[in-house]
């Protein structure tokens, strides 16, 4: 049986998990790949640290160059994260004729076009299943399992930290800041949680999913990104009363005049399966024109869950060793000469339904004035909740669900509503997706 030597760049949680799963499932992995896969070397900042895996048979080094330049290593697995030195090391490994597996979503989203071109140039593979949704094999599903379809749209809960926070806010009525602190204590959120709670991490993943879906180059800078830090327990409660749940969703959709790519809090009907994805779990819904709607669910992080995706890529590469490079599945599912530069719609040009919460003075005529402004801007109301003030002189809460409307029309209407004397706070606006 052929021996394939692996070099790891990074031996933290996912690196350690990869070593453990390769050892635990060695027989099945060898049978599937027809190779004996050996972790030969690994680089880490501190090689004296206690690890979650056995490193007795692994050559450890603090010098990552030793791994990418080792002539015996056929596959380099980058699990160090960040853009540099990861990007330079991957480019060097590709130039050395080595296949590369990475879990680095930020690197793929920001530099994937360059990295994939370099892989093609050197007749090697750059694989990245673990970069999106942890252990869920969504890249393989999109790229291969759904290849008969024209993808119409996809929507995903693709950040476990944000999903945990919104779940706790719903279940316990806690405020965002309190649940964030809890998530940090549990290790779900970083000390600096910006990438998770402000949507940047999800935007990286959505960018890649959109390119897989629509056969276009990666365009991370064009993803509209909005976080969950302004979601309040009040809105979570009112959404429930209306039959919806608030999720932090990444949405990519074909529209008549372009492609939508957006990450933001979203109301989803509570009867949808994805609305019931709770805690740190991830899920992606994909609508293909042949298959219809399919759902992919599972753990979005974790040592062995993510290692499962890393090793799946390693197995795929082992299966194609020695085969002509043009037999490999293209990185984004389409050959580079088949990728199309599609127009990306600005957020003002998207069409959506909306949840609106307005704090209004409790006096006659306010509701009539608001509904007239909405009607004048071509906006229909699907549902209304009115919450009386809790004490004399306080503002009432009016909650509206609108029909689908162009966002710039809604913006115009809200500007007019907020100029009314009876409105003294900015409206709360959350998009609504039916996911049908």
pLDDT at 387: 80
Catalytic-role residue among 105, 140, 205, 254: 205
Domain with CATH 3.40.50.720 in the chain: 2-135+303-338
d(CA 29, CA 311): 9
pLDDT at 436: 82
Domain with CATH 3.30.70.260 in the chain: 351-432
What lies within 8 Å, CB to CB, of 392 at 6+ separation is none
Strand 381-387 relative to strand 396-402, pairing = antiparallel
Q: Regarding the domain delimited by 147-299, which CATH topology (the fold level of the hierarchy) does it fall under?
A: Dihydrodipicolinate Reductase; domain 2 (3.30.360)
Q: 159 with 301: CB under 8 angstroms? A: no
pLDDT at 325: 66
> In 3D, which of 177, 166, 299 has the Cα closest to residue 244?
166
Determine the CATH number of domain 351-432: 3.30.70.260
Domain with CATH 3.30.360.10 in the chain: 147-299
Q: 91 with 84: CB under 8 angstroms? A: no
What lies within 8 Å, CB to CB, of 222 at 6+ separation is 261, 344
pTM recorded for the entire structure: 0.95
pLDDT at 393: 63
Q: 18 with 311: CB under 8 angstroms? A: yes
| Residue 205 known to be catalytic | yes
Could you report the average pLDDT of every consecutive run of 10 residues in the chain (436 residues)? 96 95 97 96 93 94 97 97 96 98 97 97 96 96 97 97 95 93 88 93 98 97 96 95 97 94 98 96 98 96 94 96 78 92 95 94 85 94 85 81 96 94 90 94
d(CA 171, CA 194): 23
Question: Structurally, what CATH architecture does the domain formed by 2-135+303-338 represent?
Answer: 3-Layer(aba) Sandwich (3.40)
pLDDT at 257: 87
Place of tokens 């030969």: 40
């Amino acid at each position: 049986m052929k021996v394939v030597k692996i070099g790891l760049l990074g031996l933290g949680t996912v690196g350690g998990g990869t070593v453990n799963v390769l050892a635990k499932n060695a027989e099945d992995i060898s049978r599937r790949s027809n190779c004996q896969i050996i972790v030969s070397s690994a680089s880490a900042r501190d090689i004296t640290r206690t690890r979650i895996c056995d490193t007795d048979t692994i050559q450890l080094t603090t010098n990552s160059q030793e791994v990418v330049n080792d002539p015996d290593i056929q596959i380099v697995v980058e699990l160090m994260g960040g853009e540099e030195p990861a990007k330079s090391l991957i480019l060097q490994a590709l130039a050395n004729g080595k296949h590369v597996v990475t879990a680095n979503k930020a690197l793929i989203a920001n530099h994937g076009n360059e990295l994939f071109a370099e892989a093609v140039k050197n007749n090697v593979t750059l694989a990245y299943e673990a970069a999106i949704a942890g252990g869920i094999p969504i890249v393989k599903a999109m790229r291969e399992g759904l290849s008969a379809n024209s993808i119409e749209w996809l929507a995903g809960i693709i950040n476990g930290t944000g999903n945990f926070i919104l779940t706790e806010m719903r279940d316990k009525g806690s405020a965002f800041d309190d649940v964030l602190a809890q998530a940090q204590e549990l290790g779900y959120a970083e000390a600096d949680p910006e990438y998770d709670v402000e949507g940047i991490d999800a935007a990286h993943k959505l960018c890649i999913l959109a390119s897989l879906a629509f056969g276009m180059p990666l365009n991370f800078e064009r993803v509209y990104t909005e976080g969950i830090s302004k979601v309040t327990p009040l809105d979570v409660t009112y959404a429930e009363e209306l039959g919806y749940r608030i999720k932090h969703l990444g949405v990519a959709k074909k529209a008549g005049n372009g492609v939508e790519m957006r990450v933001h809090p979203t109301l989803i009907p509570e009867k949808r399966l994805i609305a019931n994805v709770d805690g740190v779990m991830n899920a992606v819904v994909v609508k293909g024109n042949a298959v219809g709607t399919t759902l992919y669910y599972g753990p979005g992080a974790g040592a062995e869950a993510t290692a499962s995706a890393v090793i799946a890529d390693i197995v795929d590469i082992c299966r194609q060793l020695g085969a002509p490079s043009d037999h490999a599945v293209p990185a984004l599912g389409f050959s580079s000469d088949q990728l199309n530069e599609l127009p990306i719609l600005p957020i003002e040009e998207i069409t959506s339904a909306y949840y609106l919460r307005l704090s209004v003075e409790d006096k006659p005529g306010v509701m009539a004035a608001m509904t007239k402004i909405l009607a004048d801007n071509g906006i229909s109301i699907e549902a209304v909740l009115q919450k009386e003030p809790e004490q004399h002189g306080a503002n009432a809460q009016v909650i509206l669900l609108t029909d689908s409307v162009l966002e710039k029309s809604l913006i115009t209407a809200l500007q007019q509503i907020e100029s009314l004397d009876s409105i003294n706070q900015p409206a709360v606006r959350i998009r609504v997706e039916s996911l049908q």
